[in-house]
Amino acid sequence: MKRILVTGSAGQIGSELVMVLREKYGNDNVIAGTNRTPPSERIKKSGPVEVCNITNKEQLYETVDKYDIDTIYNMAAILSGVGEQRPLLAWKVNMDGFHNVLECAREKELVRVMNPSSIAAFGPETPRMNTPQETVLKPRTMYGVTKVAGELLGDYYFRKFNVDIRGVRYPGIISSETLPGGGTTDYAVAIYYEAIQHGKYECFVREDTVLPMMYMPDALKGIIDLAEAPVDTLKHHCDFNMGSMSFSVKDLANEIKKHIPELEVTYKPDYRQAIADSWPQSIDDTSAREEWGWTPSFDISSMTKDMIEKLTPRLK
Ligand code: SER
C-alpha cells in the first residue's frame, strides 16, 4: 500500500497533486505537508495535514514515521523570481531541504521520491529551440542552479544508494486552483485572472517572449505516470525533459481574446525578462515519450477554454 507525503501542498502544483493522489490512493493515504501557508479547505477537509518544513530534518523524519510514509512527492520549492530576490533562501529550501528528503529516503528505505526539476535548469548557452535532453546546463538563476544540482544529486543517490528518485523538468505550469508564487512563468496564469476580473493585464515580460508551458492536468498526469513506470524501463531518472506547448504572450492574449474580446494587455518588462530570455522556447521530450509514455492532452485553445470556464464563475 502506498502512503504518500506531498511537501509544499499549499503551493500551485502541490495543492492539486494532493487531491489527485487522494482520489487514486485513498484520502487517508496522502498526507499534505505544509510549512507556513495553510493548505486549501478541500485538502483540510479530505484528509491528513501535517506541518512539515523540509529544512527541518527532525520534523520531516517525524512526519515520515508518524504516517508510515513510503513515497515523497517533494513539491516544496522557492521559484525563480523569489529565488533571485532571496538566493540564500532558495538554496536552503531547494538544496538543503531536498537533501534532507534524500537522506530520509535513504535511511528509512522509502520506496520512491519524486522531485520536479524545471526548464530553469537550462541557460543562455543551451539551444533554445527543441532543447535536447542532453545539453548544456549552465543556468544563471539560483533556482536553476539548485535544479541542476538537484538533478545530479538525485541521480547520484539512485546510483550510489539505490534510492528510487525520479523527476521531470517542468515547463511553466498554468492552472486554475492555486496561483503560482514567485516564478517567471506566473504571467501566463495571472493574465487569465486579470482578463476575467478587470479586462486588462500588465505583463512583466515582452509580448514576443516565448516559453514552454503546460496545463496542470497534464503536469499531474505526467509526474504520476513517471512515478508508476517500471524502474527497468527508465534510462533517465531525475531530469526528464517534458514538453507540451509553446507560445508568446501575444499568442496567449489573442487566444484569451477569443473569449474576452475587450482584453487589453500592456507590457512593462522587469528583471524576470532576463530570466525568461535565458530559458528554452521549446523542448524535445523524446526520452519521456519513449521511456514512460509521456503524451500531453491539452493545447493552448483547449487549455484556455477550460481555464475560462473554471475561473469565470469564481472570479466574477
Ligand atoms: N515556473 C517556474 C518559474 O517560473 C519554472 O520552473 O520559476
Say if residue 224 is in the same domain as residue 208. no
- Among candidate residues 199, 226, 241, the one where a domain is terminated: 241
Residue 131: which pLDDT band, with cuts at 50, 70 and 90?
very high
Same domain flag for 202 and 224: no
* Largest Cα–Cα separation, the chain: 57
Secondary structure class of 49 (helix, strand, coil): strand
Active site residue 143: yes
**Per-residue model confidence as pLDDT tens digits over 191-204:** 999 999 999 999 99
Whether residue 90 is found in the same domain as residue 191: no
For ligand 1, is residue 131 a contact (CB within 6 Å)? no
Q: Say how far apart CA 162 and CA 105 lie, in whole Å.
A: 10
Is the domain of 198 the same as that of 119? no
User: Are 35 and 156 in a shared domain?
Assistant: yes
Ligand 1 neighbour 12 (Cβ under 6 A):
no
Q: Is 13 in the pocket of ligand 1 (CB under 6 A)?
A: no
Q: What was the pLDDT predicted at 1?
A: 63
pTM here is 0.97
Same domain, 159 and 261: no
Q: Is 285 helix (H, G, I), strand (E, B) or coil?
A: coil
pLDDT at 2: 82
Pick from 143, 211, 249, 272 the residue to mutate for probing ligand 1's pocket: most ligand atoms within 8 Å of its CB. 143
**Mean predicted confidence (pLDDT) in 34-44:** 94
DSSP letter, residue 25: H
Q: Tell how many helices (H) and how many strands (E) occur in the chain.
A: 13, 14
Mind listing the pLDDT tens digit for each residue in 58-91? 999 999 999 999 999 999 999 999 999 999 999 9
The whole-number pLDDT of residue 36 equals 85
Ligand 1 neighbour 74 (Cβ under 6 A): no
For residues 101 and 153, state if they share a domain.
Answer: yes
| Residues 57, 197 within the same domain | no
184 Cα to the center of ligand 1, angstroms: 5
Mean pLDDT calculated for residue range 111-134: 98
Rounded Cα gap, residues 85 and 77, in angstroms: 14
Q: How far is the CA of 170 from the centre of ligand 1 (A)?
A: 8
Mean pLDDT confidence for 28-54: 96
Assign residue 285 the CATH number of its domain: 3.90.25.10
Strand partners for 74: 7
The mean pLDDT value for 215-226 works out to 98
* Residue 220 confidence class, pLDDT cut points 50, 70, 90: very high
Distance (angstroms) between ligand 1 centre and the Cα of 107 equals: 31
116's grid cell: 520536479
DSSP 8-state class, residue 94: I
Q: What does the pLDDT look like over 149-193, one tens digit per residue?
A: 999 999 999 999 999 999 999 999 999 999 998 999 999 999 999
**Residues 121 and 266 grouped into a single domain:** no
**Whole-number percent of the chain with pLDDT over 90:** 98
Q: Which of 67, 143, 170, 187 is catalytic?
A: 143
Residue ranges making up the domain that contains 43:
4-171+215-241
Same domain, 83 and 184: no
pLDDT tens-place string over residues 247-287: 999 999 999 999 999 999 999 999 999 999 999 999 999 99
Residue whose C-alpha cell is 532571496: 86
Length of the chain: 316
What CATH number has the domain bearing residue 157? 3.40.50.720
Residue 228 and residue 79 share a domain: yes
The residue whose C-alpha atom lies closest to atom 3 belonging to ligand 1 is 183
Say if residue 186 is in the same domain as residue 120: no
Q: Over 80: is that where the pLDDT of 311 sits?
A: yes
**Ligand 1 binding pocket includes 172 (Cβ within 6 Å):** yes
| Angle, CA 101 vertex, CA 98 and CA 105 arms, to 5° | 145
Mean pLDDT of 111-119: 98
- Neighbouring-strand partners of residue 161: none
Distance CA 42, CA 189 (A): 21
Q: How many domains does the chain have?
A: 2
Supply the pLDDT for residue 302. 98
Averaged confidence pLDDT in the chain:
97
Q: Is the CB of 120 under 6 A from ligand 1?
A: yes
Residue pLDDT, tens place only, 8-18: 999 999 999 99
Reading phi first (left if > 0) and then psi (alpha if -120 to 50, else beta), residue 8 is in left
